């Protein structure tokens, strides 16, 4: 009676698995703020029963789904709601065609290096009122949303030119992601510092954009191309016996859970088994008690925010657990469901108001907590929370690095 392995539970990927219980309606951040999006129950399995590959899409609201995937995390029936939405969005945009703006925004990985090289010119331009007015009018990139500044040298260049630590250490590979490379290089530097403080040697394998921005505009083929390139490169690292850590939750979710199950890339499963969120990895090291790393006190009131894609990774809250190890740091969880940015979503003029309205809940939660600093693993969330609260927002590894170095921050 109790042989558990005999019969795996089946979760057929069909819209008919949906029992219309409406739990997802309690989780969707978009339908919570606008009646224009009917919500995951209707947009996903509900509409799916009427969709046909041979007929033109009529569900233009499907574009309003932010792909936060919160619906998937609450569904009691295992309906792949966000995947149904993504497929419908992809079909709709394939038929209608994508705008030049969408084409451009998902290719930031291509011009990022160049923009970083000329950041002294590019950054003032991106803050310039006239330029922003033009971007708003011509491309519909909302001028009320600050564009992230570029940094030079890039993380990759910094890493190449720094002295390597002494030999004989166990190696770990790092997937830094585009944003860390060209816009938030300190996250990458902190990741390397913290990993090295744990007795590891960091290597940076060749990598490209993970492809999740392309999924956001339903470009499955483009996402697959990026994925194939990354799997080929990263598998070499894995086959040398290395684990790979990522510091961006969205890149991590894409690499670990979309390359295989969604994009069916060969080798994706082998890669996924060796991929870890950086805080998940560090927490493991602490629990194994291997390197005796101790943190210095940082007397501060901090608030931690859970990115939606971290919920999909379903690894708990390793960053929060690590932060609790820092003496003096009073850290609590922000009780809000989604920051609202949705990656590139919140930059688009027609969606800006939705992103702002979703973010209001977070702003109010933060106002009640009055923290000195906010910590969160996702670059999108960090951008949005800075925009909404004006507070200092860091990746948890940045604070951990500061705690290691006996250095005050702020």
Partner 1 sequence: MKRFDLIVIGTGLAGLTAARTAVEMGAKVLIIGRGMGALTLFGNTIDLLGEIQPETEMAEGIPRWIAAHPEHPYARTGMAGIENALADFRGLFPPPYSFAALGPGNSLLPTGAGTMRPTYLIPATMAAGAAMTPAGTLIVGLRGFKDFQGDTVSLHLKCRGVTLSLPRYGMEGLTALALARLMDEASFRERLGGAIRRQMAAERFIGLPAVLGFRNPAVVLKTLEEITGARVFEIPMLPPSIPGTRVFHRFREELIAKGADFRMGHPVSGANVKYGRCEGITVQNPPLATEYRADRYILATGRFLGGGLWAEMDRIVEPLFHLPVFQPGERGKWFGERFFDPEAHPIHRAGIVTDADLRPVDETGRVVLENVRAAGSILAHHQAIEEKSREGIDIATGFLAAKRALAS
Rama region for 314: left / alpha / beta (φ>0; ψ in -120 to 50; rest): left
CB of 337 to partner 1, least distance (A): 9
Instruction: Write the interaction track for partner 1 spanning residues 373-402; mark x where CB under 8 A is met and - where it is not.
Output: ------------------------------
- Asked whether position 216 contacts partner 1 by CB under 8 A, the answer is no
- Asked whether position 98 contacts partner 1 by CB under 8 A, the answer is no
Q: Token pair of 36, please?
A: 């224009």
- Asked whether position 260 contacts partner 1 by CB under 8 A, the answer is yes
**How many Cα atoms sit within 13 Å of 117 on the Cβ side?**
5
Reported in sequence order, the residue ranges of 7-51 that DSSP labels E, i.e. its strands, are none
- The span from the CA of 327 to the CA of 120, in Å, is 39
Cβ proximity to partner 1: between 205 and 267 the closer is: 267
**How many Cα atoms sit within 13 Å of 101 on the Cβ side?**
15
Segment interacting with partner 1 (CB under 8 A) among 210-218, 225-233, 243-251, 308-316: 308-316
- Asked whether position 370 contacts partner 1 by CB under 8 A, the answer is no
In this structure, are residues 403 and 296 in contact, taking their beta carbons and an 8 Å threshold? yes
Q: How far apart are the first and last CA of the chain?
A: 60
- Asked whether position 32 contacts partner 1 by CB under 8 A, the answer is yes
CB of 175 to partner 1, least distance (A): 16
Of 28, 88, 226, 329, the one binding partner 1 (CB under 8 A) is 28
- Asked whether position 73 contacts partner 1 by CB under 8 A, the answer is yes
Cβ proximity to partner 1: between 85 and 183 the closer is: 85
In this structure, are residues 180 and 209 in contact, taking their beta carbons and an 8 Å threshold? no
- The span from the CA of 131 to the CA of 136, in Å, is 8
Q: How many residues bind partner 1 (CB under 8 A)?
A: 56
Footprint of partner 1 on 115-174 (CB under 8 A): none
Segment interacting with partner 1 (CB under 8 A) among 15-23, 43-51, 90-98, 187-195: 15-23
Which positions ≥6 away from 303 have C-beta within 8 Å?
A: 331, 332, 333, 334, 366, 369, 371, 373, 374, 375
Of 76, 163, 241, 410, the one binding partner 1 (CB under 8 A) is 76
Looking up tokens 């008690």 gives 289
Of 18, 39, 43, 254, the one binding partner 1 (CB under 8 A) is 39
Cβ proximity to partner 1: between 128 and 332 the closer is: 332
In this structure, are residues 356 and 148 in contact, taking their beta carbons and an 8 Å threshold? no
Q: Token pair of 225, please?
A: 């191309």
Cβ proximity to partner 1: between 104 and 315 the closer is: 315
**Coil/strand/helix, residue 166:** coil
Q: Token pair of 290, please?
A: 């291997």
Of 15, 46, 78, 153, the one binding partner 1 (CB under 8 A) is 78
Footprint of partner 1 on 311-350 (CB under 8 A): 311-317, 320, 324, 332-333, 335
Cβ proximity to partner 1: between 350 and 405 the closer is: 350
Peptide bond just before 153 cis, omega within 30 deg: yes
Of 46, 199, 205, 261, the one binding partner 1 (CB under 8 A) is 261
CB of 183 to partner 1, least distance (A): 29
Cβ proximity to partner 1: between 226 and 268 the closer is: 268
The sign of the torsion formed by the CA atoms of 94, 99, 103, 106 equals negative
165 DSSP assignment: P
The footprint of partner 1 (CB under 8 A) covers: 1-9, 11, 19, 21-23, 25-28, 31-35, 38-39, 72-78, 256-257, 260-261, 268-269, 272-273, 284, 287, 311-317, 320, 324, 332-333, 335, 361, 364
């Amino acid at each position: 009676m109790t042989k558990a392995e005999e019969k795996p539970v089946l979760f057929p990927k069909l819209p008919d698995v949906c029992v219309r219980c409406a739990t997802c309606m309690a989780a969707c951040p978009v339908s919570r703020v606008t009646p224009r999006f009917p919500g995951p129950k209707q947009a996903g399995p509900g509409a799916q029963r009427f969709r046909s590959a041979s007929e033109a899409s009529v569900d233009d609201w499907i574009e309003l789904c932010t792909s936060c995937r919160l619906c998937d995390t609450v569904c009691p029936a295992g309906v792949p709601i966000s995947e149904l939405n993504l497929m419908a969005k992809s079909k709709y945009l394939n038929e209608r065609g994508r705008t030049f703006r969408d084409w451009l925004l998902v290719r930031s990985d291509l011009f990022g290096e160049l923009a970083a090289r000329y950041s002294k010119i590019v950054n003032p331009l991106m803050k310039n009122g006239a330029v922003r007015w033009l971007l708003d009018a011509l491309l519909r990139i909302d001028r009320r949303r600050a564009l992230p500044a570029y940094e030079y040298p890039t993380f990759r260049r910094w890493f190449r030119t720094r002295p390597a630590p002494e030999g004989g250490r166990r190696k770990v590979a790092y997937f830094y992601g585009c944003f860390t490379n060209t816009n938030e290089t300190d996250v990458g530097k902190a990741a390397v510092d913290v990993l090295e403080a744990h007795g590891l040697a960091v290597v940076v394998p060749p990598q490209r954009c993970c492809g999740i921005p392309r999924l956001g505009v339903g470009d499955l083929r483009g996402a697959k191309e990026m994925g194939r390139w990354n799997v080929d490169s990263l598998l070499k690292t894995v086959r040398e016996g290395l684990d790979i850590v990522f510091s961006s939750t969205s890149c991590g979710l894409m690499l670990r859970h979309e390359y295989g199950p969604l994009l069916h890339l060969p080798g994706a499963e082998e890669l996924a088994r060796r991929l870890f969120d950086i805080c998940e990895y560090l927490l493991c090291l602490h629990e194994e008690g291997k390197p005796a790393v101790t943190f210095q006190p940082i007397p501060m009131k901090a608030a931690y925010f859970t990115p939606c894609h971290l919920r999909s990774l379903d690894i708990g809250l390793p960053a929060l657990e690590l932060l609790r190890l820092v003496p003096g740091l009073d850290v609590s969880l922000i009780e809000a469901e989604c920051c609202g940015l949705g990656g590139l979503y919140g930059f688009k003029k027609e969606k800006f108001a939705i992103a702002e309205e979703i973010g209001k809940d977070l702003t109010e939660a933060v106002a009640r907590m009055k923290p000195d600093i906010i910590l969160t693993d996702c670059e999108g969330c960090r951008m949005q929370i800075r925009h909404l609260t004006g507070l200092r927002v860091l990746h948890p590894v940045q604070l951990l690095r500061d705690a290691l170095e006996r250095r005050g921050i702020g």
